[in-house]
Amino acid sequence: MQSFRTELENLHKPVVERDIIDLEKKIRLYREGRINDEKFRSLRLARGVYGQRQPGVQMVRIKIPFGRMTVKQLLTIADIAEEYGNGNLHATTRQDIQIHYVSLDKTPELWARLERDDVTLREACGNTVRNITASATAGIDPKEPFDVSPYAYSLFKYFLRNPICQELGRKFKIAFSSGDDDTAFAFIHDIGFIPKIKNENGKEIRGFKVVIGGGLGSQPMLAVTAYEFLAEQFILPYSEAILRLFDRYGERKNRSKARMKFLLEKIGFDEMKKLVHEEWNALNVKEYWVDRDIVSATQMGSTSKVVPISPNRVEPTSKDKFKRWRETNVFEQKQKGFYGVYVRVPLGNFHAQKARLLAEIARLFAADDIRVTVNQGYLLKFVRPENLPALFHSLNEIDLAEAGFDSTNDITACPGTDTCNLGISDSTSISLEFEKVIAQEYPDLIYNNNIKIKISGCPNSCGQHGLASIGFHGSSFRVEKNSLPALQVVLGGGRLGNGEGIISEKVIKIPSKRGPDSLRLLLDDYFENQNEGEYYEQYYRRKGKEYFYTLLKPLADLTSLVPADFVDWGHDEQFKLKTEAGECAGVIIDLVSTLLYETEEKLGWARETFEANRFADSIYHGYNVFVNGAKAMLLKKDLIVNTQYGILKDFEEKYAAEFQFPNGFKEFILRINKNEPTKEFAEQYLNDAAKFLETIQSINAEKHETAEV
């Protein structure tokens, strides 16, 4: 406890300090049995604390906006991993870093330690705006129209702790690609941005192609184009308007239909566009000009750090290995004379000791700007060409100089059954088996950047198997009284560029132990039958699903099983199917006993933000007072409504006689769309929200008294 208090004293950040103290307080109340499991789960998820498969320990997800870290931040995370977890740093496909096996009671102290170096856990999990991702090469990409890093960072800062996105129906994901190659996969995001430049009257104008409504999971959908070109000053207001709509109209009862993609499918693009226009009036800002220097000025440090002094040349220990590494992991930046260097990390995992060594290598040879990549590796920037041999030598000494970054042999995989409640069968050990097959039998595939292999432990696609040329996700068979670990094979996915892509198709399910044989079959078939220059996704479309089903069908035969087939990769014991309710995607919570307490808490936030002259925030907190209060009253009639908009409509219908509002309850509340967020309107709306809460509290108290009599 003393070390926790010491860390808080070192923060000097009142908002963050209050957040951490609140988590510590809620943990105590939970331990005392005064907060139930469901409510506490919601609270900790929004603070990056996620329950593991193993009882009694947590996974802590560290939010790394657009994957950018300083050397100091990486060192801090390494220390945290070793002191509070099992020492492993796991890089995710959303450019976060996860620490596992953390004690719940230590999470406030851990968070306080991170915040000293401007690293946060806030909204890394739960029904919030998740980490905003971007192409790791942003800022140095030779093909980019401009650096998208400042835009990703500005949206991250704007939506962090923003009242419009604290209690969404489900998670919400935003990505920025650095160019038309779309290396951040904009097409699978709720909102995706691709930079564009227009010239008008000789003046260069920045903007973005905007795509919305994409997502993977068990029901993947491709994003649709909202704008071919949206000027840069409108991307943040547009994002806020979309989030407000998702908050109000998004599904909250049926978790499987609660993503943005389903809302867009339900109401249609034209209606979405109309509602965005209606929402615009209520926005805090109608234009938002991003400071284009915000990242380079405040995040990357001084010029001397961006271009470090050259150490002595060190010749590579293996000329052939250096040549392969140089050809596959190194590229010249748009800043001529400097190079970006990719660091391949198998499955995104390395120990804190190795992370410290990587940080030291970056300090010596590169800019103070390390990027986590979307395929679970790292990128070092601004390396001088004369330093490449020395850099290779340093990486090779710690086994981080493997060639073939983002190649066929650089497999993406989620932790799966290692730690995740949703994992069905192994996704990590099988990935290493696949990499072994490729390295030993298809060594030239380190030069192939077309065939992407991705694996998830379940259908939810955290390993992005829905994008894979050749993909797998965990599954199982029932064989008499036993469970058999299995892999669902998915094929033909890929990135087309400029916000377009292809979702892979389910082909067949096979026993997990036959996974390597399936990979050999698929690769041999492709190399024997492809047309010249034909990419894998093109080959798959030409041949068709039935062809691949027939090709793999012998591997699905369950009549020739042996005992070893019932033991999953990386395990010694017989496989048993074990899954629990997942937490990463959030939970749908309706707790009558806490609704009125939460409503009172929101009114307090509305008053606090009003006093701070944050009038748009105050209005939105007030809006949530109305929604939560109405929801509580509907629950008294055993009515559970699946959207906020539905709550407003049903309350108006069910309580018309008891509550009188000009033009009805719904119109009274949705005045927020018809008024600018001025001080005068915010004050009026706040007073109305306070009166509403006072009235429902009075009704609730009267009914309790009647019941007691």
Locate the DSSP E strands across 144-223: 174-176, 191-200, 203-212
CB contact at 8 A, 474 and 416: yes
What does 658-674 look like in DSSP terms, one character per residue? Answer: T---TT-HHHHHGGGGT
d(CA 408, CA 338) in angstroms, rounded, equals 27
- DSSP 8-state class, residue 230: E
Rg (CA), the chain: 26
Q: What is the pLDDT of residues 666-695, one digit of tens each?
A: 999 999 999 999 999 999 999 999 999 998
- Model pLDDT, residue 702: 59
Q: What is the pLDDT of residues 638-674, one digit of tens each?
A: 887 889 999 999 999 999 888 888 889 999 999 999 9
Helix, strand, coil proportions of the chain in percent (round to 5)? Answer: 45, 15, 35
d(CA 671, CA 669) in angstroms, rounded, equals 5
Domain 2-115 has CATH 3.40.50: no
CB atoms within 10 A of CB 448: 18
Count how many Cα atoms sit within 13 Å of the Cα of residue 280 in the half-sphere of its side chain.
12
- 3 state DSSP class of 573: coil
Please name the residue that has the structure tokens 């030291």.
Answer: 360
- Whether 133-294 shares its CATH topology with 412-566 is answered yes
CB atoms within 10 A of CB 531: 8
d(CA 687, CA 116) in angstroms, rounded, equals 38
Domain boundaries defined on the chain:
2-115, 133-294, 301-397, 412-566, 592-708
φ/ψ of 565, rounded to 5, equals -65, -20
Residue-wise burial string across 230-266, b where 16 or more C-beta atoms lie within 10 A, e elsewhere: bebebbbbbbbbbbbbbbbbbbbeebebbbbbbbbee
| 692 CB burial (10 A radius; 0-12, 13-18, 19+) | buried
| 335 CB burial (10 A radius; 0-12, 13-18, 19+) | middle
- 3 state DSSP class of 431: helix
How far CA 119 is from CA of 29, 63, 286, in Å, comes to: 26, 7, 29
Which residues, including other chains, have CB under 8 Å from residue 8's CB and lie 6 or more apart?
Answer: 17, 20, 21, 112
pLDDT below 70 — which residues of the chain? 1-12, 296-317, 579-594, 701-709
- Domain 412-566 is classified in which CATH homologous superfamily? Sulfite Reductase Hemoprotein, domain 1 (3.30.413.10)
CB contact at 8 A, 516 and 434: yes
| 515 CB burial (10 A radius; 0-12, 13-18, 19+) | buried
- 3 state DSSP class of 450: coil
Fold category of 133-294 in CATH: Sulfite Reductase Hemoprotein; domain 1 (3.30.413)
d(CA 437, CA 521) in angstroms, rounded, equals 12
- Model pLDDT, residue 8: 54
Task: Return the CATH class of domain 301-397.
Answer: alpha beta
Q: Which CATH number fits domain 592-708: 3.30.379, 3.90.1690, 2.40.128, 1.20.120?
A: 1.20.120
Of residues 285, 49, 53, 259, the one with CA closest to residue 169: 259
d(CA 366, CA 391) in angstroms, rounded, equals 9
Of residues 299, 394, 388, 395, the one with CA closest to residue 345: 395
Locate the DSSP E strands across 360-493: 370-372, 378-383, 412-413, 453-456, 470-479, 482-491
- Model pLDDT, residue 699: 79
